Structure 1
Amino acid sequence: MTSFHYQTQANDETIEHLLRQKWQAGKKTVHLMRMAKSVTDTDGEPIDWRDPLPQGTMLHFTMPEAVSNYVEEENNLPIVYEDEHILVVNKPAGMDTHPDGQRGTGTVMNRIMHYVRNNGSDYAEHIHRLDKGTAGLILIAKHPIAKTLFDRMLANNEIERMYTAELDGYLKKSKGTLSYPIGRDRSHPTRRRVSVSGQRAVTHFKVIKRSEDTTIVEASLETGRTHQIRVHFSHIGHPVKGDTVYEGSITEDGQYRLTATKISFRHPFTEQPATIEI
């Protein structure tokens, strides 16, 4: 059963306001919680949703209907961060974030499903995804309200994601912004390309290290388009090393050199700044 605790952040906060206004939880979720009397105090006693609560009141939320349907597989992925609301996992290159179909296997979410079920829950959903060849940090919600809040934060550009990439060639500019719209490549089923009719895409970067034939950069996303970093750097003539889909040079292990290294945000439940990095 999925559950979490929350400590009220202001005087006279009500559960009704918390769920409907502050968190803007889904109507179905709110209805199910109300019917199940699933908000209680620390002694397990239900609380009237209209009662004003003192700041610092500890509430317990239970979400019996929260179930994810991923097939579970034994987890061997490092959990970098975890609290009652989210966890962050370090994905290896070469693994998909989630399966294509309901019964698919071999992905991050299959392994995380095994992890959360071993810890008494049935729910886990990714907030964002990484390309199969990209390694690094993925943020995962542990209950539906966290999923709703972090999805909204992602859409509002309130989650900062930082990447490290090794590029082919000597990139002369020490820092800059790549602002090129990205759309589908009609000649290839999965490729993207810079296109005047594409979606707005903005990548900021700064150089960390250079050698004669490669450049290591730190890149942050202002938007989150499919293959954005890969497309942008390939477009300026410096593809990610190993990314042969976008004209990158071949690597010995066949993987390309792009890693999601840092996630930063203001935690919507504690209201404190949080940074998770590798």
Structure 2
Amino acid sequence: MNSDMTSFRYETTKYGVTIEGLLRNDWQAGKKTVHQMRMDKAVTDSAGVPLDWRTPLAEGTELLFHFKDAQSSYKPDENKSVTILFEDEHLIAAKKPAGMATHPDENDKGHTFINAVMAHVVNNGGAYAEHVHRLDKGTEGIILVAKHPIAKALFDRMIEERSITRIYHAEVDGRLKRIRGTLQYPIGRDRHHPTRRRVTPGGQDAVTRFKIIERFDDSTLVEASLETGRTHQIRVHFSHIGHPVKGDILYGGSETEDGTYRLTAKKVQFIHPFTLKQTNIEIH
């Protein structure tokens, strides 16, 4: 893969699949993407020879998919505090440290998580990196990054359909009484604060499931999984029941010595849409 071309290799997993079927049915690539790839003769065999899109292929056939104009605009910015946990042709899973933004805003053109991942991609000859989801600046943990446009579309859809399990560890103030439970409270914007969210009847549905891992003298370590992905969801839900995340001053949490709050995106689990294998990525 050269610096102006995004591409990936794929080995067919069943007999009789066609390129047309892969793109339209298996991966549900958009019509515009499929049309452009057909016009560009963007699918070849391992020797670079364009293939007929309707010819059934043998299991194990190696295909090369090329995206002529697929480049990300993020400026590469190396940062050793961002750790790569998993990588293949389609996806990177990396750990974001607490205190780092997921992506730049209008005032910050670099020094974010995705800039660091972009540096890794560019250093390995690539040109495309787009985050599939995000974490709050103060939350550390795993973020998934797509390495080509079809992966981005597929993983976006998996997030929307809730087929990616995201598991967090949170240390919350006080001693939770329930061993496990479900927090189901709608979340909306707080009219009195520019960034804060709150539980409100007119908000979006939000569901957090949790179980206790360990109780301490004045706090509780919980494992929480999201059925929905609302902004600040775990932070808002636990604050609402009187057990804010430790260190999360915005939502009433007690102060910590280092000024960070105790919330980590610990694990992601999903069926990989290209390999069809159960994939578990975890911070140990």
Shorter-normalised TM range = over 0.9
Aligned match of 1:208: 213
* Offset from partner CA, 1:220-265 (integer Å, 9 cap, x none): 0011000000000000000000000000001111100000000000
Aligned match of 1:248: 253
Which ranges in structure 2 are unaligned for 5 or more consecutive residues? none
Aligned match of 1:171: 176
Structure 1 pair 150–48 and aligned structure 2 pair: CA distance change class (3 A): same
Note the C-alpha offset of 1:108: 0.5
Q: Indicate if the aligned counterparts of 1:71 and 1:103 stay in contact, CA closer than 8 A.
A: no
Structure 1 pair 102–88 and aligned structure 2 pair: CA distance change class (3 A): farther
Distance in 2, Cα, partners of 1:70 & 1:27: 26
Q: Does 1:271 align with 2:276?
A: yes
Q: Does 1:8 align with 2:17?
A: no
Aligned match of 1:57: 61
How many residues align structurally?
Answer: 278
Q: Does 1:36 align with 2:40?
A: yes
Q: CA RMSD in A?
A: 1.1
Aligned match of 2:72: 68
Q: Secondary structure at the match of 2:212?
A: strand
Q: Indicate if the aligned counterparts of 1:70 and 1:102 stay in contact, CA closer than 8 A.
A: no
Runs ≥4 in structure 1, deviation > 6 angstroms? none
Distance in 2, Cα, partners of 1:100 & 1:22: 35
* Offset from partner CA, 1:139-173 (integer Å, 9 cap, x none): 00000000000000000000000000000001111
Q: Indicate if the aligned counterparts of 1:70 and 1:103 stay in contact, CA closer than 8 A.
A: no
Aligned match of 2:97: 92
Q: Within 5 Å, which residues of 2 pair with 1:13-28?
A: 13-28=17-32
Distance in 1, Cα, partners of 2:213 & 2:79: 33
Identity %: 63
Q: Secondary structure at the match of 1:16?
A: helix
Aligned match of 1:112: 117
Q: Does 1:128 align with 2:133?
A: yes
Q: Secondary structure at the match of 1:112?
A: helix
Picking from 225, 228, 234, the partner of 1:220 is 225
Note the C-alpha offset of 1:136: 0.4
Structure 2 counterpart of 1:227, one-letter code: H
> What TM-score comes out, normalization by structure 1 length?
0.97
Note the C-alpha offset of 1:200: 0.5
Distance in 2, Cα, partners of 1:223 & 1:94: 23
Distance in 2, Cα, partners of 1:28 & 1:210: 53
Distance in 2, Cα, partners of 1:82 & 1:102: 30
Q: Secondary structure at the match of 1:56?
A: coil
Note the C-alpha offset of 1:74: 1.5
Note the C-alpha offset of 1:102: 9.0
Distance in 1, Cα, partners of 2:92 & 2:106: 23
Note the C-alpha offset of 1:103: 6.6
Structure 1 window deviating more from structure 2 (91-100 vs 104-113): it is: 104-113
Distance in 1, Cα, partners of 2:14 & 2:23: 14
Picking from 43, 47, 51, the partner of 1:47 is 51
